[in-house]
Structure 1
Amino acid sequence: MSRLLIITAIAVSYYVFAILLNSVGTVILQSINSFDVSKPEASTLEGFKDLSIALVSFLVASFIPRIGYKVSMLFGLILVATLCAITPSIGNFWVIKLLFAGIGTAFALVKVSVYAIIGQLSSNTKTHSSLMNTIEGIFMLGVLSGYWVFAAFIDPTNEASLSWLNVYYLIAALVAVTILLVLAAPIQKPEVNKEVGVGTAFIDMLKLAYKPLVLIFIISVFLYVLIEQGIGSWLPTFNREVLGLPTQVSIQITSIFAVALALGRLLAGVVLARVSWYPFMNACLVGMAAVMLLSLPLAEKVDENLIASWVDAPIAAYLIPLIGLMMAPIYPVINSVMLSALPKVQHAPMTGLIVVFSALGGTTGSIITGYVFEAMGGQQAFYLSLIPIGALLVTLFFFKRATSSIVLKDTA
């Protein structure tokens, strides 16, 4: 029962943050509509979110085990609940920036804690991978529901209206319920070698990044998240401006991307029980490139007045989000392979590195896509994803070779 309560607490925490983190694409579109900001300026929201994730993870990942995972999660959740509660009453672009900086800070604390708790609850690689995919699958369900929750608060008769900000009152209530679950969960405080100071633990995390296997891994993580956020954050705007869909339909139809990601991760669990992860990852990357090459030429703007529902949307609106089906397994699989190669005492600092480079990749992908979108158009911005897809094929080759020949030693 206690194990189930802990899993429920971390799963619900991940679900809430999935709604908040992946709302950035919707908020970028609505900020352009409501606050009349440019695309490059709107793209900075990804930076406020991801750079705060990176900075906080970098600074506190090695310190979190000392205060305990439960305390860390509660601090993050309380911060987000407070910011969500005040955002609608202020209703300005600067408070949206502050909100995403707070979301990023809180998620850094929560993600490091959740990944370490998964290690506590797992006895071997198989159970670790299974629980990791379950939690990441729930995260994708949060992403999916987030598109519909935000779309429900948008006024279709006045896209510049600030009524959509009221969604944050609902999210604040969800976070409050999550806080109660985390308080009730018997999450263990990890054993920490008190002879090793905070500074030494921080240096040990940095040393971990110098290992050849870890270095290849974090480059792979960076490239993957660059692709995912570059597409995911700008897909609602792509639907609105390139395909000509109404704002509400643009956001709702983006949920296909979340469905594809969730389904891809669930199917990956079945497939990976029968095949090796490396050839499966290669097949996924080739599939991603194929989806972009086949769907982007079909992206043509249609008359908005002709679109009353999803049924009227052009075929490209359905095909492009299917890239999520191919990219879905990559992130949890390579994370699981990496963490399973480490002793549990190194899971928190390793997760810190994962979060840092995931955040940097997400910010880079979103900002580059935003600038190219503004300068050259949405199709060219999405074609650009083929470059990191090719680079990821190369880094995964070396990652596979490194995992086959290198055994990491416990440096703690």
Structure 2
Amino acid sequence: MSRLTIIAAIAVSYYVFAILLNSVGTVILQSITSFDVSKPQASTLEGFKDLSIAIVSFAVASYIPRVGYKIAMLCGLALVALLCAVTPTVGSFWIIKLLFASIGTAFALVKVSVYAIIGQLSSTTKAHSSLMNTIEGIFMLGVLSGYWIFSAFIDPNDASSLSWLNVYYLLGAMVLVTLVLVLFAPIDKPSPGDTELPASRAFLDMLKLAYQPLVLIFVVSIFLYVLIEQGIGSWLPTFNREVLGLPVSVSIQITSIFAVALAVGRLLAGVILARVNWYPFLNVCLLGMAVIMLLSLPLAEKVDETQIINWTDAPLAAFLVPLIGLMMAPIYPVINSVMLSALPKGQHAPMTGLIVVFSALGGTTGSIITGYVFDAMGGQQAFYLSLIPIAAILVSLFFFRRACGALSATSAHKVS
């Protein structure tokens, strides 16, 4: 029962942060309209979110085991609850920036803690991969919910209205409920082996991890993956609005197909990976991503938005482009699981710090590049750029598998 309570606590935490983090695409669209900011200016919201994740993860990931995973999560949740309560009252673009900075800071604490807790709850690689995919699948269900929650607060008759900011009162209440659940969850304190090193030594050990060839290839892979996911996910509502000509509310709601595809893909991956090897599976996923983009983007043409009232009026591309999420969904949790399973549990927290840092840098880079290309050349060209990092991931995964194989062979030789 205590194990289920812990899983519930980390799952709900991930669910709430999924809504907050992935609302950035919706907020970018609304900020362009409500606060009259340019696309490059709006794209900085991704930076406030992701760079705060990167900085906090890099600075404190190795210290979190010393403080305790529960305390770290509670601090992050309390910070976000406070900013959610303040944001609608201020109603300005600068408070939105501060809100996303606080969300990023809190998620850094939560993600490092959650990944370490998953390690505590898993005794085998398969169990770890299964629980990881389940938690990441729940994260995507939160992303799906977020699009509908935000669209419910948008005034369809006045897109520039600030009434949509009232959504943060609801989200703040959800964060407080999550805080209470985490407070009463029997989360174990880190083992003595995780905290017996001096704080400075623990930080240096995290830096040393990045110099290992396997880890270098791994962080390049996750950087490229998140660059694609955030570049598409953050700008898909704006793509729907400006390229496909959908109304604002429909643009946001139809983006939920992307979240559904990601959630289904990750939940199915947990089943498929119990039967097949991860490497050929991910190669098929990457090739599928490229095929979907090459088939769907030529169909994306500007239409007369006065003809579009609801989903049934939307062009075919509005439904095809988000399906890339089905193919990309398993990549991130699988390579994370493979990497973490290859390390001693005492290194999971610092390794997660590196994961969060490079994920954040990839997300910011992807969103900003997409925003500038979108502004200069249009949405179709911006999305076509995703083909470059898709090809690069195919290459990086080849070397990642070879490095994993070399590590396994070395470990087997030492045991014998």
TM-score with structure 1 setting the length: 0.98
- Give the letter aligned to residue 282 of structure 1: N
C-alpha distance in 1 between matches for 2:109 and 2:286: 30
Pairing 1:377–2:375 present: no
Q: How does 1:252-401 map to 2 (within 5 A)?
A: 252-401=253-402
C-alpha distance in 2 between matches for 1:20 and 1:178: 13
Q: Deviations over 1:23-50 (max 9, x none)?
A: 0000000000000000000000000000
Pairing 1:250–2:254 present: no
C-alpha distance in 1 between matches for 2:196 and 2:189: 17
When structure 1 is superposed on structure 2, of 13-22 and 271-280 the one drifting more is 271-280
C-alpha distance in 2 between matches for 1:397 and 1:43: 32
Q: Deviations over 1:272-291 (max 9, x none)?
A: 12211101100100000000
Q: Deviations over 1:122-153 (max 9, x none)?
A: 11111111111110010000000000000000
SS of alignment partner, residue 167 of structure 2: helix
Whether contact under 8 Å (1:220, 1:396) holds in the other structure is yes
Whether contact under 8 Å (2:151, 2:252) holds in the other structure is yes
- Give the letter aligned to residue 224 of structure 1: Y
When structure 1 is superposed on structure 2, of 398-407 and 111-120 the one drifting more is 398-407
Whether contact under 8 Å (1:3, 1:121) holds in the other structure is yes
- Counting aligned pairs with the same residue, the percent is 80
CA RMSD in angstroms, aligned pairs only: 0.9
C-alpha distance in 2 between matches for 1:101 and 1:93: 13
SS of alignment partner, residue 275 of structure 1: coil
Whether contact under 8 Å (1:144, 1:258) holds in the other structure is yes
C-alpha distance in 1 between matches for 2:16 and 2:305: 33
Give the C-alpha shift of residue 397 in structure 1.
0.3
- Give the letter aligned to residue 110 of structure 2: V
- Give the letter aligned to residue 384 of structure 1: L
Whether contact under 8 Å (1:265, 1:329) holds in the other structure is yes
C-alpha distance in 2 between matches for 1:174 and 1:359: 24
CA 1:14–1:264 in structure 2 vs 1: closer, same or farther (change >3 Å)?
Answer: same
Whether contact under 8 Å (2:126, 2:274) holds in the other structure is no
- Give the letter aligned to residue 377 of structure 1: G
User: Which residue of structure 1 aligns with residue 230 of structure 2?
Assistant: 229
User: Which residue of structure 1 aligns with residue 405 of structure 2?
Assistant: 404
SS of alignment partner, residue 245 of structure 1: coil
SS of alignment partner, residue 233 of structure 1: helix
Q: Deviations over 1:251-284 (max 9, x none)?
A: 0000000000001111112221221110110010
C-alpha distance in 2 between matches for 1:230 and 1:362: 7
- Give the letter aligned to residue 225 of structure 1: V
Q: Deviations over 1:80-113 (max 9, x none)?
A: 0000010000000000000000000000000000
CA 1:151–1:196 in structure 2 vs 1: closer, same or farther (change >3 Å)?
Answer: same
When structure 1 is superposed on structure 2, of 194-203 and 103-112 the one drifting more is 194-203
Whether contact under 8 Å (1:57, 1:352) holds in the other structure is yes
- Segments of 5+ residues of structure 1 without an aligned counterpart are none
Pairing 1:127–2:127 present: yes
SS of alignment partner, residue 357 of structure 2: helix
User: Which residue of structure 2 aligns with residue 27 of structure 1?
Assistant: 27
SS of alignment partner, residue 406 of structure 1: helix
CA 1:195–1:329 in structure 2 vs 1: closer, same or farther (change >3 Å)?
Answer: closer
C-alpha distance in 2 between matches for 1:173 and 1:270: 34
When structure 1 is superposed on structure 2, of 17-26 and 185-194 the one drifting more is 185-194
User: Which residue of structure 2 aligns with residue 67 of structure 1?
Assistant: 67
C-alpha distance in 2 between matches for 1:180 and 1:263: 29
Q: Deviations over 1:348-383 (max 9, x none)?
A: 000000000000000000000000000000000000
Give the C-alpha shift of residue 301 in structure 1.
1.1
C-alpha distance in 1 between matches for 2:106 and 2:270: 29
Whether contact under 8 Å (1:66, 1:192) holds in the other structure is no
C-alpha distance in 1 between matches for 2:372 and 2:37: 13
- Give the letter aligned to residue 387 of structure 1: I
TM-score with structure 2 setting the length: 0.97
Give the C-alpha shift of residue 192 in structure 1.
3.4
SS of alignment partner, residue 40 of structure 2: helix
User: Which residue of structure 1 aligns with residue 414 of structure 2?
Assistant: none
C-alpha distance in 2 between matches for 1:244 and 1:223: 29
User: Which residue of structure 2 aligns with residue 42 of structure 1?
Assistant: 42
When structure 1 is superposed on structure 2, of 315-324 and 188-197 the one drifting more is 188-197
C-alpha distance in 2 between matches for 1:201 and 1:128: 24
C-alpha distance in 2 between matches for 1:303 and 1:147: 24
C-alpha distance in 2 between matches for 1:120 and 1:398: 29
SS of alignment partner, residue 190 of structure 1: coil
Pairing 1:94–2:94 present: yes
Whether contact under 8 Å (1:229, 1:362) holds in the other structure is yes
C-alpha distance in 1 between matches for 2:358 and 2:5: 30
Pairing 1:165–2:165 present: yes
Whether contact under 8 Å (1:213, 1:403) holds in the other structure is yes
SS of alignment partner, residue 372 of structure 1: helix
Whether contact under 8 Å (2:15, 2:141) holds in the other structure is yes
- Give the letter aligned to residue 338 of structure 2: V
Whether contact under 8 Å (1:225, 1:365) holds in the other structure is yes
C-alpha distance in 2 between matches for 1:189 and 1:270: 31
User: Which residue of structure 2 aligns with residue 199 of structure 1?
Assistant: 200
C-alpha distance in 1 between matches for 2:395 and 2:185: 42
Q: Deviations over 1:317-369 (max 9, x none)?
A: 00000000000000000000000001100000000000000000000000000
When structure 1 is superposed on structure 2, of 366-375 and 399-408 the one drifting more is 399-408
C-alpha distance in 2 between matches for 1:270 and 1:276: 12
- Give the letter aligned to residue 107 of structure 1: F
C-alpha distance in 2 between matches for 1:386 and 1:367: 17
C-alpha distance in 1 between matches for 2:196 and 2:241: 57
Give the C-alpha shift of residue 195 in structure 1.
4.8
User: Which residue of structure 2 aligns with residue 146 of structure 1?
Assistant: 146
